[in-house]
Amino acid sequence: MRASDRLSLASFAATALAMLTLFPITQDRSFVLWSLGAMALVSVVTALVRRTVAGEAGALISELAVLIGISGGLAVVLADDLGPVEAVRELAAAGVHHLESQSAPMEASPAVVWLMVTAVGTTLVLTDLLVSVLARPSWGLAPGLTLFLIPALALADDLSPVAGVAVIAGYCLILLAEGINRTERWRRGVIDDPAHPTRSVSPVLWGSAAVVVVPAIALSLVAWLAIPTGSLSFVPGGHGDGGAGPLQLSDPTLDLRRNLNRPDDVPVLTYTTTAPADADDRDEGVYLRIASLPYLDANGWQNSAIDVLPGQPGRIPGVNAESPQRRHTEIQIGDFDSEYLPLPYFPRQLIVPGEWGYDPLSLVYIATSGDRGRATRDLTYSVDSVDLDPDGERLSVARGGSPDDVDITGTLPADLPDEIVALALEITAEAPTDALKAAALQAYLRGGTFEYSTEPAPGSGYEALTNFLFEDQRGYCEQFAAAMAVMARVLGIPSRVAIGFLPGDKVGDTWEVTTHDLHAWPELYFEGIGWTRWEPTPGNGTVPPDWTLQRSGSGDETTAPPTSTEPTDEAEPTFEPTLQPSDPNAEPSDDPLGPNELPDARWGLAQTIGAGLGLVVVVAVLLLPGTLRALRRRRRLSGGGDLGESVEDAWAEVRDSVIDARGSWPSGSPRVISDQLSTGLLATAAPQVTELAVLVERARYARTPGSVGQPELVTLVSDIRTALAEPASRGQRIRMALLPPSLMKPRSGRRAG
Amino acid sequence: MTLQQTEFEPDIDAITSVTGQVRRAVETVIEGKRSAIDLALVVLLAEGHLLVEDVPGVGKTMLAKALGKAIDCSVRRLQFTPDLLPSDITGVSVFNAETRDFEFKPGGIFANVVVGDEINRASPKTQSALLESMEERQVSVDGTTYRLAPPFMVVATQNPIEMEGTYPLPEAQRDRFMARVEMGYPTTTAELAMLDQHGQTNPLDALEPVTDAATIVSLIEQARQVYVAAPIKKYIVDVVDATRHHRDLRLGASPRATIQLLRAARALAAMSGRDYVNPDDVSSLAVSVLAHRVLPSSEALAGRRTPTEIIGQCVRGVAVPERS
């Protein structure tokens, strides 16, 4: 292995390891593949250029050119219908906004993917610059460390120690590679024995490297764990309510904002929970519900008068048949004062010291005697509950029901501002059923218009709500939950706002819940299903419950928040890629460097040629997939075989074109596929799709295949392809032409199933 | 092409036009139940028998009667009760004093369309008399065999509620029915239209025959000639086989089910105007043909997974066949 290749490989590995530290800050892992691909391309091109006369300068230039090409190309791919420059600008702005408005782990966003790939690529180029170009391997830690700082600053104490170890291990690899190179140089100089050519590093060096590297990693890990982080200390916050003192919670909303805003995150309770035997995910925590606010007026969501009953919880409102499977939870409360008992929903049986009673409508437990306000302090208790996760498909067609307290939870105050009513109706105009309307509300609130922030004025009254919905568009869980609950009532779905704790963090077998886990969420009531939890608050790590994301049974309506929107603006119908290979205008070299002349780092003709070659390689690599795809299309449409074969080829071509345009191909028989395409993507070419599907069907299943000539087949396919391209934006069409996804699909035969 | 003596190109146009007329005629009596009517026609063309399960009053008997009348065939209705005797179904030899000889009095089964109402109310012995005649299309009484005139189709109804004091058909006997259909309640519009129609007269009286038994017999013969490609046969076998390995099923479908699924698919293809069966024929009939023959496991019952859902899963789990 050449010395420069070894260093390149070490830089690659170090950057890849540093990239792993980015894992916790986003939910979308697709940047990993993109980054690895980009890094591989950069490394390979650089290594090739280094072998030419272009030398280190050429390598650097080609490295940068490849990075810019990848970054720009990816931007064009990810941002539809924009040119490279606008796409980069747009994605950078969107990415920065995303970073500012969300907290880790962020939701998937193409802008973030682009930012990360660009950052990782830049890190590789910088590492290579330091390690190879400037020949200063010992500085090679800096770029990886910079990458590592991103999650370190964003996550602080949540960052796994492994991340730090990864960066240091990468650095050790660079040092190791340099060490091997040095040893080889040294041995060449001293032992010039032709009988024993030095090919590889002696085992001694490997051993000594291990002696250095292993303790270094171990030491960094120990240091990491030993240094205390801020979250573990109980420093009273400087906020006005007497620091980390007892947290009163007589009105359950009062402390939400204050606690969410505290700089210190004080643990309030721990619990262990055993999921029922039939649970899907047995390793999940539970939402602990404290209170429920069913009453709405101009001052916001409030408690209503409650009849408190003693004993074990009664019937679950709205639920006819409950699963016999129980979840067992043991809860230990520490420094937390409340008259409400945190309980998983729906509680069925509890063993708790003290005197408690429950509200039969909300199943909320309230202290009934003694020092009620401090009833939960240092309390240890256990509860059996049932997990009633509604079936998403059933829910998607459910109607808003009428619970026993419908006169409270189903009433809309007469003085509710009209603009809120109008907004609710507007958001849900498209949704066919009540539950899908609710899902539309949730998607709207999570959709990116609103920003999670604990800064806005507290409250859920009309004023706070209109301010949140129409002006400020910033809020925290209370506003999100209140807004969704109010709008659900506008639509006739009974609703209430629940206050409680998020599941918290798992430490060993125990879940730890802190003040920052205080949360509010809307509960909506559906006929035949009962009260269901929804999650309209974006950006604090919460994910909407599964059942609110189900596809409805019949339509194509998805209730998931729209992650990407189809561009609708018109673009000229052309398949011409705008990224033409720009030929370098370098004239052929008449005066190459003499064989004895050492290439040096000065920028000269040779370097220009090297850079030009690098660019050509890049462009060729970029154009390769599209070319392969076009060749495949030509072969398929050339005819030649028997009729059945030709029809199958035409069908396979349509399948690949659909995959190129949309990424997926329906499953089923030809007719089923054509029905799906005709009602969706290919509505404008429905007759052609149906005709081809019937031909395929006849070719496969009938006694005699239908009669059709090759020219007609070609016309059918090209009509369908035109219809596919029409609604696509320029960016999409370039992507289809340059990076056809159908090439990546496993070719389980040319048959389109 | 292999020589098969009876193979000929089926007259698909005749099948679609006649079945279309029959469907329209029956629809004047039963509104908004097109899928049930179509399934009944498929079963008729495929020489099977139909099991209709639903609550009382949704038109189970009406469907059978209208179908029989529209094809101008004899219709007999047998009301199954615990005291119904096998001889009430097959017939009995009676001594005729004038001729001084035994004379055969045909039972209720001697008709083209036999409606067996609430079949689960009769004793198992009586049920099996009906089911034997269904399978063999003939009746043997006192050593003499009487053939039942084609077309012959039994439409048995079962009421899924009020099961007390009844004898639900055992699985082996349910297997004799080609398909099961659940009528379901009509839509609001259909029910309104029904009020208008049934308000004054019985629409069954106004129903005029649109074809005759001989035509139906010839159409049955035509439907048998619908082409089934090898991959489709494999698909049918795969779908049926999937029911035998599904973890929610204690008992999968029988080889008889395979044959009947193939026959029904042929009839449906012909009714849809095709001289070949496509995978959609098979998949759309799978639930009707298979669901009543399988036994869900106790876990499935506890999880409220119905045979209909499970058969749907089986069908979705089998890849649609491609060209061989």
- Helices within A52-109 (DSSP H only): 55-78, 84-101
Q: Is the domain of B145 the same as that of B19?
A: yes
Q: Report the pLDDT value the prediction gives residue A583, as an integer from 0 to 100.
A: 41
Which domain CATH number covers B137? Answer: 3.40.50.300
Strands A510-514 and A267-274: antiparallel
Q: Report the pLDDT value the prediction gives residue A198, as an integer from 0 to 100.
A: 45
Greater confidence (B239 vs A80) lies with B239
Q: For residue B310, give the nearest of B282, A324, B321, B292 by alpha carbon.
A: B292
Q: Determine which of A210-214, A244-248, A505-509, A554-558 has the lowest per-residue pLDDT on average.
A: A244-248
B220, B241, B265 - which closes a domain: B220
For the segment A686-697, what is each residue's pLDDT rounded down to a tens digit? 888 888 888 888
Across the range A430-441, mean pLDDT stands at 85
Q: Report the pLDDT value the prediction gives residue A677, as an integer from 0 to 100.
A: 84
Q: Do B280 and A648 touch (CB under 8 A)?
A: no
For chain A, give the mean pLDDT: 74
Q: Is the domain of B301 the same as that of B188?
A: no
Distance CA(A578)–CA(A487), nearest Å, equals 46
In this model, does residue A235 exceed pLDDT 70?
no
Q: Do A700 and B280 touch (CB under 8 A)?
A: no
Q: Report the pLDDT value the prediction gives residue A581, as an integer from 0 to 100.
A: 40
In this model, does residue A139 exceed pLDDT 70?
yes
For the segment A618-677, what is each residue's pLDDT rounded down to a tens digit? 777 777 888 888 888 888 888 777 888 888 888 888 888 888 887 778 888 888 888 888
Across the range A329-334, mean pLDDT stands at 88
Please indicate, yes or no, if residue B133 is contained in any of the structural domains: yes
**Per-residue CA distances from B294 to A142, A720, B132, B154, B283 (Å):** 67, 43, 21, 21, 16
Chain A residues touching B283 at Cβ < 8 A: 669
Q: Which residue on chain B is closest to A666 by alpha carbon?
A: B320
In this model, does residue A232 exceed pLDDT 50?
no
Strands A505-507 and A510-514: antiparallel
Q: Is the domain of B122 the same as that of B147?
A: yes
For the segment B14-59, what is each residue's pLDDT rounded down to a tens digit? 888 888 988 888 888 887 788 888 898 899 888 889 888 877 777 7
For the segment A340-351, what is each residue's pLDDT rounded down to a tens digit? 888 888 888 888
Q: Report the pLDDT value the prediction gives residue A75, as an integer from 0 to 100.
A: 85
Confidence of residue A512 (pLDDT cuts 50, 70, 90): confident
- Chain A with chain B: Cβ pairs closer than 8 A: 45
Distance CA(A313)–CA(B89), nearest Å, equals 59
Asked if residue A326 lies in contact with residue A276, where contact means CB atoms within 8 angstroms, the answer is yes
Confidence of residue A13 (pLDDT cuts 50, 70, 90): very high
Nearest to A669 among B274, B275, B278 (CB): B278
Distance CA(B186)–CA(A629), nearest Å, equals 52
Distance CA(A501)–CA(A508), nearest Å, equals 19
Distance CA(A254)–CA(A731), nearest Å, equals 49
Nearest to A700 among B229, B274, B280 (CB): B229
Distance CA(B42)–CA(B179), nearest Å, equals 9
For the segment A83-98, what is each residue's pLDDT rounded down to a tens digit? 778 888 888 888 777 7
Q: Report the pLDDT value the prediction gives residue A604, as an integer from 0 to 100.
A: 54
The sign of the CA dihedral B49, B53, B56, B58 is negative
Strands A364-367 and A356-359: antiparallel
Q: Report the pLDDT value the prediction gives residue B258, as an integer from 0 to 100.
A: 92
Q: Report the pLDDT value the prediction gives residue A649, as an integer from 0 to 100.
A: 86
For the segment A454-499, what is each residue's pLDDT rounded down to a tens digit? 776 666 778 888 888 888 888 878 888 888 888 888 888 889 888 8
Please indicate, yes or no, if residue B148 is contained in any of the structural domains: yes
B188, B203, B220 - which closes a domain: B220
Residue A10 burial (CB count, 10 A): 27
For the segment B110-155, what is each residue's pLDDT rounded down to a tens digit? 888 888 888 888 888 888 888 888 888 888 887 888 888 888 888 8
Q: Which two tokens stand for residue B107?
A: 């039972």
Nearest to A753 among B278, B280, B320 (CB): B320
Q: Is the domain of B68 the same as that of B103?
A: yes
pTM of the complete model? 0.46
Q: Report the pLDDT value the prediction gives residue A225, as an integer from 0 to 100.
A: 56
Confidence of residue B225 (pLDDT cuts 50, 70, 90): confident
Q: What is the CA radius of gyration of chain A?
A: 32
Q: Which two tokens stand for residue A523?
A: 């509960």
The sign of the CA dihedral B34, B40, B42, B45 is negative
Q: Report the pLDDT value the prediction gives residue B264, as an integer from 0 to 100.
A: 92
Q: Do B276 and A701 touch (CB under 8 A)?
A: yes
Which range of A137-146, A641-650, B264-273 scores highest in mean pLDDT? It is B264-273
Q: How far is A543 from chain B (nearest CA, A)?
A: 27
Write out the residues of chain A at the interface with chain B, using a CB-CB cutoff of 8 A: 644, 648, 667-672, 697-703, 749, 751, 753
Q: How far is B221 from chain A (nearest CA, A)?
A: 18
Phi then psi for A273, rounded to 5 degrees? Answer: -140, 140
Q: Do B323 and A644 touch (CB under 8 A)?
A: yes
For the segment B154-200, what is each residue's pLDDT rounded down to a tens digit? 888 887 776 666 777 777 778 888 888 888 788 888 888 777 776 67
Confidence of residue B262 (pLDDT cuts 50, 70, 90): very high
Confidence of residue B265 (pLDDT cuts 50, 70, 90): very high
Confidence of residue A74 (pLDDT cuts 50, 70, 90): confident
In this model, does residue B13 exceed pLDDT 50?
yes
Q: Which two tokens stand for residue B255?
A: 């080889």
Phi then psi for A127, rounded to 5 degrees? Answer: -60, -45
Q: Determine which of A335-339, A583-587, B86-90 has the lowest per-residue pLDDT on average.
A: A583-587
User: Which stretch of DSSP H or E encloses residue B228?
Assistant: none
Number of domains into which chain B is organized: 2
Q: Which two tokens stand for residue A724?
A: 């596919």
Q: Is the domain of B138 the same as that of B253?
A: no
Residue A324 exposed, middle or buried by CB count within 10 Å (0-12, 13-18, 19+)? exposed
Q: Is the domain of B128 the same as that of B110?
A: yes
Q: Which residue on chain A is closest to B229 by alpha carbon?
A: A701
Q: How far is A642 from chain B (nearest CA, A)?
A: 13
In this model, does residue A194 exceed pLDDT 50?
no
Q: Do B229 and A701 touch (CB under 8 A)?
A: yes
Chain A residues touching B322 at Cβ < 8 A: 700, 749, 751, 753
Q: How far is B165 from chain A (nearest CA, A)?
A: 28
Q: Is the domain of B249 the same as that of B116?
A: no
Q: Is the domain of B145 the same as that of B278?
A: no
Q: For residue B242, give the nearest of B306, B191, B313 by alpha carbon.
A: B313
Nearest to B323 among A669, A672, A699 (CB): A699
For the segment A295-311, what is each residue's pLDDT rounded down to a tens digit? 888 878 877 777 777 77
Phi then psi for A347, rounded to 5 degrees? Answer: -70, 145
Q: How far is A700 from chain B (nearest CA, A)?
A: 5
Q: Is the domain of B216 the same as that of B253?
A: no
Q: Do B319 and A753 touch (CB under 8 A)?
A: yes
Chain B residues touching A648 at Cβ < 8 A: 323
Q: Report the pLDDT value the prediction gives residue A129, as an integer from 0 to 100.
A: 83
B164, B189, B220 - which closes a domain: B220
Domain ranges, residue B260: 226-317
Please indicate, yes or no, if residue B311 is contained in any of the structural domains: yes
Please indicate, yes or no, if residue B4 is contained in any of the structural domains: no
Please indicate, yes or no, if residue B6 is contained in any of the structural domains: no
Q: How far is B5 from chain A (nearest CA, A)?
A: 17
Please indicate, yes or no, if residue B258 is contained in any of the structural domains: yes
Confidence of residue A536 (pLDDT cuts 50, 70, 90): confident
For the segment B84-119, what is each residue's pLDDT rounded down to a tens digit? 888 888 888 888 888 888 888 888 888 888 888 888
Q: Is the domain of B185 the same as that of B52?
A: yes
Q: Is the domain of B48 the same as that of B169?
A: yes
Q: Which residue on chain A is closest to B324 by alpha carbon?
A: A700
Please indicate, yes or no, if residue B99 is contained in any of the structural domains: yes
Q: Is the domain of B258 the same as that of B239?
A: yes
Q: Report the pLDDT value the prediction gives residue A419, as an integer from 0 to 100.
A: 86
Q: Determine which of A214-223, A582-591, B141-150 has the lowest per-residue pLDDT on average.
A: A582-591
Q: Which two tokens stand for residue A308?
A: 């408190």
Q: Report the pLDDT value the prediction gives residue A590, as an integer from 0 to 100.
A: 41
Q: Determine which of A39-53, A576-590, B143-157 has the lowest per-residue pLDDT on average.
A: A576-590
Residue B8 burial (CB count, 10 A): 10
Confidence of residue A192 (pLDDT cuts 50, 70, 90): very low
Identity of residue B6: T
Which of B4, B301, B320 to mutate to probe the A interface, most A CBs <10 Å?
A: B320
Chain A residues touching B319 at Cβ < 8 A: 753
Q: Which residue on chain A is closest to B323 by alpha carbon?
A: A700
Q: Which residue on chain A is closest to B299 by alpha carbon?
A: A278
Q: Which two tokens stand for residue A739?
A: 């990076």
As separate numbers, helices (DSSP H) first and strands (DSSP E) second, chain B gives 14, 11
Identity of residue A209: A
Which domain CATH number covers B296? Answer: 1.10.8.80
**Per-residue CA distances from B313 to A252, B181, B243, B307 (Å):** 47, 19, 9, 10
Q: Which residue on chain B is closest to A278 by alpha carbon?
A: B303
Q: Report the pLDDT value the prediction gives residue A31, as an integer from 0 to 100.
A: 84
Asked if residue A752 lies in contact with residue A657, where contact means CB atoms within 8 angstroms, the answer is no
Distance CA(A289)–CA(A343), nearest Å, equals 5
In this model, does residue B253 exceed pLDDT 50?
yes
Please indicate, yes or no, if residue B78 is contained in any of the structural domains: yes
